Amino acid sequence: MPEIAKPRILSGMRPTGRLHLGNYVGALQNWIQLQNPYESYHFVADWHMLTTDYASTGELQTDTREMVTDWLAAGLDPSKCTMFVQSRLPEHAELHLLFSMISSLGWLERVPTYKEQLENVKDRDLHTYGFLGYPVLQSADILMYKPYGVPVGEDQVPHVELTREISRRFNHLYQPVFPEPEALLTPSPRLPGTDGRKMSKSYGNAIFLSDPPEVASKKVAGMMTDPARKRRWDKGNPDVCPVFDFHKILSSTEVVERVNRECRTAEIGCVECKKLMAHSVNEFLDPIRERRRAFEQNPNQIWEILEAGTCRARVVAQTTMNEVRSAMNLVHK
Ligand code: TRP
Ligand code: SF4
């Protein structure tokens, strides 16, 4: 049977080290589901990390290795998708430079994440050339592979929009080289951190994919619940409880229905409800932990997988760059 070419997708993640359940639900799970129907490219966006963390690069290699270990442990399969490291492909830097010539300052200054972070991040100076160019670099990452779609969360949609603008302007000014990729929104149900805020490493409210069972259980036992339910006999409201958000994602329908019923009537107490929760979390994490152990025993394997992926990505990147240079008259005739 002739193989029908699958549509291509591409997405990146900044190397933040070990991933937590929020990263899994918000991105990784989607990547894993898409690796069969699509030709998938996934990369470590280490240059993007530098746009904000340029002053602390000490953990870059460890963070890259730990994050990719989690990708693999969670089920991203190197025989199905191409995994690579952005900084191993200078073609991305070249395309970023060329795109910077045609990216209007107005577009960049209007990107919501830019304004937000400038205002909110106080411990680093983000008034840099590199940080303003963050979405231009992202556009280069994306358009290099001419993908059909880009699986991302809601917050990244403006970056994909800008990518489409740059693509249109390039094609209009020179030659039609690039597609206009779609943002493929991650269907992400709410998974808060243990304190009810957004799960984030920096808030200290995260449950990591690599947490041992005792650690995960302890974090669940300390989770915030419905604040109005102070005593065992108080009736609760699961709709405002982060533990119930977890149940909805990780527990069986039976458990979800039971908690939904018995919390409201005070038949079930929070301690027992959390025990059920810890059980679901650990049942979910067990196979991930097991695969992680196998990779930890041979960390070289991670670099080999990334190297093989980088080689495959390079073939595509070089082809695109030849077209780009020729469209812009950057080659001797
Ligand atoms: N900016 C993305 C994030 O913070 C990471 C990223 C970099 C990316 N380049 C990309 C995502 C290209 C999709 C496509 O999550
Ligand atoms: Fe939350 Fe469960 Fe307690 Fe209800 S019983 S408040 S869902 S922890």
**CATH number, domain containing residue 18:** 3.40.50.620
Are 14 and 113 within one domain?
yes
Residue spans of alpha helices (H) in the chain: 21-23, 29-34, 46-53, 60-74, 90-101, 105-110, 112-120, 129-132, 134-144, 157-173, 213-221, 242-250, 253-264, 270-296, 300-327
Are 174 and 252 within one domain?
no
Are 114 and 172 within one domain?
yes
How much is the pLDDT for 8?
98
The reply to whether ligand 1 has any atom less than 6 angstroms from the CB of 49 is: no
How much is the pLDDT for 59?
97
Range of the domain at 229: 211-293
Please answer whether residues 286 and 250 qualify as being in contact, where contact means their C-beta atoms are separated by less than 8 angstroms.
no
Low-confidence winner among 2-11, 138-147, 215-224 (lowest mean pLDDT): 2-11
The reply to whether ligand 2 has any atom less than 6 angstroms from the CB of 273 is: yes
Are 145 and 289 within one domain?
no
The two tokens of residue 142 are: 């994306």
The reply to whether ligand 2 has any atom less than 6 angstroms from the CB of 226 is: yes
* Per-residue confidence band for 1, with pLDDT thresholds at 50, 70 and 90: low
Note whether residue 199 is domain-resident. no
Give the distance (Å) from ligand 2 centre to CA of residue 229.
Answer: 8
What distances in angstroms separate CA 253 from CA 39, 76, 248, one per listed residue? 33, 26, 8
Model confidence at 63: pLDDT above 90: yes
* H or E element, residue 219: helix 213-221
Are 36 and 134 within one domain?
yes
Are 250 and 312 within one domain?
no
CATH number at residue 285: 1.10.240.10
Top-confidence residue, 3 or 56? 56
Are 249 and 132 within one domain?
no
Q: pTM for the whole thing?
A: 0.95
Ligand nearest to the CA of 221: 2
How much is the pLDDT for 189?
78
Are 161 and 219 within one domain?
no
Are 108 and 26 within one domain?
yes
Calculate the average pLDDT of the chain: 96
Note whether residue 3 is domain-resident. no
- Domain total in the chain: 2
How much is the pLDDT for 281?
98
Are 151 and 224 within one domain?
no
Q: What is the mean pLDDT of residues 48-66?
A: 97
Note whether residue 198 is domain-resident. no
Distance CA 283, CA 281 (A): 6
How much is the pLDDT for 4?
79
Model confidence at 78: pLDDT above 90: yes
As a whole-number percent, the residues of the chain with pLDDT over 90 amount to 92
Note whether residue 196 is domain-resident. no
The reply to whether ligand 2 has any atom less than 6 angstroms from the CB of 263 is: yes
- Ligand 2, atom 7, lies closest to the CA of 238
Ligand nearest to the CA of 42: 1
Are 247 and 281 within one domain?
yes
